A and B are shown apart, each in its own frame.
Chain A
Amino acid sequence: MSDKSSSNDAYWKANVRIITICLIIWAFVSFGLGIVFRPLISWIPIGGTDLGFWFAQQGSILTFIALIFYYTWYMNRLDREHDVDEQ
């Protein structure tokens, strides 16, 4: 196998790693803070209700947007580092 394909393997591994991290955050803010762990953070007040309600209705959506743009930025850098970006 050439250097190119081992570099591609490293690229894919790094990609799967960042996807995993992003999806852990994705699940944590929505299923975690918004639903399952809501009772645990109910002591934090926000605008007449508790933090879990805010995550369910707004916080998770805002985090999703941040996650996609972070991933886009990270991947653009990774594409260049591994020399697989589109010229």
Chain B
Amino acid sequence: MDQFTLNLLVVGASFALYVGIAIWARAGTTADFYAASRGVNPIVNGAATAADWMSAASFISMAGLIAFVGYGNSSFLMGWTGGYVLLALLLAPYLRKFGRFTVPEFIGDRFYSQTARIVAVICLLVISITYVIGQMTGAGVAFSRFLEVESWQGLLIASGVVFIYAVLGGMKGITYTQLAQYCVLITAYTIPAVFISFQLTNNPVPALGLFSTHAESGLPLLAKLDQVLLELGFQDYTGNHGSTFNMVLFTMSLMIGTAGLPHVIIRFFTVPRVADARKSAGWALIFIALLYLTAPAVGAMARLNIITTIFPNGTQEQPIAYDERPDWMLNWEQTGLLAFEDKNNDGLIQYYNDRSEEFASVAAERGWEGNEMVTFNQDILVLANPEIAQLPGWVIALIAAGGLAAALSTAAGLLLAISSAVSHDLLKSTFMKGISEKNELWAARISMAGAIALATYLGLNPPGFAAQVVALAFGLAAATLFPVLMMGIFSMKMNTEGAVAGMLAGLFSTVLYIFTYLGWFFIPGTNMLPNTPDNWILGISPLSFGTIGAIINFAVAYAVMSVTREPPQEIQELVYSIRVPRGAAGAIEH
């Protein structure tokens, strides 16, 4: 059986499974649709949260993201996991106790204000829509790469599958498909990782292999990697080459951004008890860590492996000839993720850092006229692993199914956050107050269909800023929703005026700072200052600004609160009640 048929079979089987689950987990009520009737086991919710959280980018790109920078990009590892500590300690149990369906609903009730609720809906929509564009394009790319269809065809197929289980099952359908998707993606990620780790270090656990001995050279793996990189003019892997200050700010922005993402928060509304919300965050982090501890190991090992493949006798000796390059390189050249150009016409592949001025003299001495691996896409470190490790075809097919599972599960979670904000926060509470339960369920399904159509459209016609949007989503979640949710729980006296002013200040300061350097609405050329460290205020990168936006939010909120009236007595009682677990309504029977 050829690889294409195998990919089709494995991906097709995984889709059949998702659709089967959707039919089994149909939503009968709005409580089903918005919160799976709060009957989800906390461990199951942990796995669903992990799938909800880990996107196509985590699955396909994160290993490469870390491997091409090294230590400096550890921010992603700490930032994207540390946020769960904030969720478990500061938000999830209290929001679960409050016992409603959406994040803006909490903000509206706690700050006794429709204005606060609408501002929260706006923040939620900006965050989730920017985030979902990346997922849809990711799904399209994954399809086109593995199933030999055009990217737009892939996107339509992906939308169709999400449509079936999200419109039919709402949160209930999404939860159980996410559980299945987590199983698919973690299996797909782990199998090739175990093999490459075993081949390089004789240790089958990649996270341990990273700190073990490189079998071929007898040196510690990381020391060997540092050595070959330095010998080719690159920066060493384990050193810190960026600004420590920005690394702290960026890590913090990712952490509080993670804790403020609505599609993650609403997952904790689905468990039966407050104690389960805490526990579930711990399980979510265990499931996430299984991938996040493996990814940096895979990245480092794959990068070392590719270099030693090109320089089989060591980086001081001649590299291999073009004619001798392994088959997997030939295969991936066809996709454009890998490309070579024999610049000095000697028939050998010279891979080195031709942008290093210090290394230029060494390169000239060796007769090298430029780096000949002209394209080396970071995604290849994950995608090509099964072939590098010479694993059977079904493992390659599994990677295809895993990448799609990661993209679809995150997209579905985001779409639910978007559609419930529309049907529950806008329609039910603002424009159609008397809507019946049955009609609201219909409204929720129609909003979901509308959100899918919008996401598909944006995936087909991505605004030319796909790469930057995730930074914007995290920055805004950090600067708007996280502070206001935290103040709503931890400050008895925080009032409407403070919360609305804080959210708006966080929103506008963050958007202004990002657009100043990256262009208005990311349109190239419209930036007011060049995006270089000398132009950044106090050296703060636009990607790290979420932390500053959050501080502005807190400061403005407290300043405005101190000069406006106290919240009414019943709101202070509400805050008292969300602080204690007793009295949370359990799972909804029907």
Query: Chain A: residues with CB nearer than 8 A to chain B?
Result: 5, 8, 11-12, 15-16, 19, 22-23, 26, 30-31, 34-36, 38, 46-50, 53-54, 56-58, 60-62, 64-65, 67-69, 71-72, 75-76, 79, 82-87
Contact of A53 among B238, B282, B289, B576 (CB under 8 A): B238
Interface of A is mostly: helix
Q: Which residues of B contact A (CB under 8 A)?
A: 71, 74, 77-78, 81-82, 84-85, 88-90, 93, 207, 210-212, 219-224, 226, 238, 240, 244, 247-248, 251-252, 273-275, 278-279, 281-282, 285-286, 289, 292-293, 296, 490, 576, 579-584, 586
Contact A61-B275, Cβ < 8 Å, known A46-B211, A48-B223, A68-B281: no
**A86 and B274 contacting across the interface, CB-CB below 8 Å:** yes
Least CB distance from B238 to A in Å reads 4
Q: Are A49 and B275 in contact (CB under 8 A)?
A: no
Asked whether, in the complex, the Cβ of B78 is within 8 Å of the Cβ of A34, the reply is yes
Check B90 against A12 for contact (C-beta < 8 Å). Answer: no
Task: Using known A-B contacts A56-B71, A58-B293, A61-B78, determine if residue A72 contacts B221 with beta carbons closer than 8 Å.
Answer: no
Known contacts A31-B252, A69-B282; decide if A62 and B238 are in contact (CB<8 Å).
no
Give the residue of B82, B223, B274 whose beta carbon is less than 8 angstroms from that of A64. Answer: B82
Contacts of A38 in B (CB 8 A): 240
Whether B582 contacts A47 by the Cβ 8 Å rule is: no
Partner of B78, one of A23, A56, A67: A56
Residues of B within 8 A of A49 (CB): 211, 220, 222-223, 226, 238
Q: For A50, what are the chain B residues with a Cβ–Cβ distance below 8 Å?
A: 238
DSSP class of B's interface residues: helix, strand, loop or mixed? Answer: helix
Give chain A nearest CB distance to B546 CB in angstroms. Answer: 15
Kindly list chain B residues whose C-beta atoms are within 8 Å of the C-beta of A16.
Answer: 490
Q: Give Cα distance in the complex from A60 to B85, angstroms.
A: 11
A sample of 18 inter-chain contacts (CB < 8 A) reads: A15-B579, A16-B490, A19-B89, A22-B85, A47-B221, A49-B211, A58-B293, A60-B82, A61-B293, A65-B289, A68-B89, A71-B89, A72-B282, A75-B275, A76-B275, A79-B275, A84-B581, A86-B584
Q: Report the bound CA distance from A60 to B281 in whole Å.
A: 16
User: Are the C-beta atoms of A87 and B289 separated by less than 8 Å?
Assistant: no
The answer for the CA separation of A87 and B274 in the assembled complex, in Å, is: 11
In angstroms, Cα B302 to Cα A57, docked, is: 17
Which 10 residue pairs across A and B have the least CB separation, nearest first?
Answer: A48-B220, A47-B211, A48-B223, A56-B74, A48-B222, A68-B282, A84-B580, A49-B238, A72-B278, A30-B78
Q: Are A64 and B81 in contact (CB under 8 A)?
A: yes
In the docked arrangement, what's the CA distance between A64 and B289, Å?
Answer: 10
Q: Are B251 and A31 in contact, with the CB atoms below 8 A?
A: yes
How far, in Å, is B518 (CB) from chain A's closest CB? 25
Q: Chain B residues near A22 (CB, 8 Å)?
A: 85, 89
Taken together as a complex, chains A and B put the C-alpha atoms of A30 and B258 apart, in Å, by 16
Residues in B whose Cβ lies below 8 Å from that of A36: 244, 248
Cβ–Cβ contact A67 & B85, under 8 A: yes
Q: Once the chains are docked, how many angstroms separate the CA of A56 from the CA of B490?
A: 30
Q: Residues of B contacting A87 with CB < 8 Å?
A: 582
CA distance A31 to B79 in the complex (A): 10
The answer, among B71, B78, B247, B296, for a CB contact under 8 Å with A60, is B78
Q: Is there an interface contact between B289 and A61, defined as CB atoms closer than 8 Å?
A: yes
Nearest residue (CB) in B for A65 is B285
**Chain B residue nearest in CB terms to A20:** B89
A48-B222, A76-B275, A84-B580 known; A26 vs B82 contact (CB < 8 Å) = yes
Picked from B278, B292, B296, the residue with its CB within 8 Å of the CB of A68 is B278
A85–B211 touching, CB < 8 Å:
no
Is the CB–CB distance between B82 and A47 below 8 Å?
Answer: no
The reply to whether B221 and A35 contact each other, CB–CB distance below 8 Å, is no
Q: Is the CB of B89 within 8 A of A23?
A: yes
Contact in complex: B82, A30 (CB < 8 Å): yes
A53 to B293, CA, bound (A): 13
Cα–Cα, bound, A44→B582 (Å): 47
Nearest chain B CB to A27's CB is how many angstroms away?
A: 9
Say whether, besides A50-B238, A57-B296, A35 and B580 are in contact (CB < 8 Å): no
Among A5, A54, A86, chain B packs the most CB atoms within 10 A around the CB of: A86
Min Cβ gap B284→A in Å is 9
A48 touching B248 by the CB < 8 A rule? no
Cβ-neighbour of A30 out of B207, B222, B223, B251 (below 8 A): B251
CA distance A67 to B278 in the complex (A): 11
Q: B554 to nearest A CB, angstroms?
A: 15
Q: Please name all residues of chain B whose beta carbon is closer than 8 Å to the beta carbon of A26 when the two chains form the complex.
A: 82, 85
Q: Name 10 extra pairs, CB < 8 A, besides A48-B211, A61-B292, A83-B582.
A: A11-B579, A12-B579, A19-B90, A47-B222, A54-B211, A57-B74, A61-B81, A65-B286, A68-B88, A75-B93
Q: Contacts of A54 on B, CB cut-off 8 Å? A: 211
CB distance from B413 to the nearest CB of A (A): 20
Q: How far is the CB of A44 from chain B (nearest CB, A)?
A: 13
Which B residues lie within 8 Å of A31 (CB)? 248, 251-252
Neighbouring B residues of A34 by C-beta, 8 Å: 74, 78
User: Are B74 and A47 in contact, CB atoms less than 8 angstroms apart?
Assistant: no
The chain B residue sitting closest to A74, CB to CB, is: B278
A38 CA to B239 CA, complexed, in Å: 10
Most chain B CB within 10 A, of A30, A56, A57, A76, is at A57
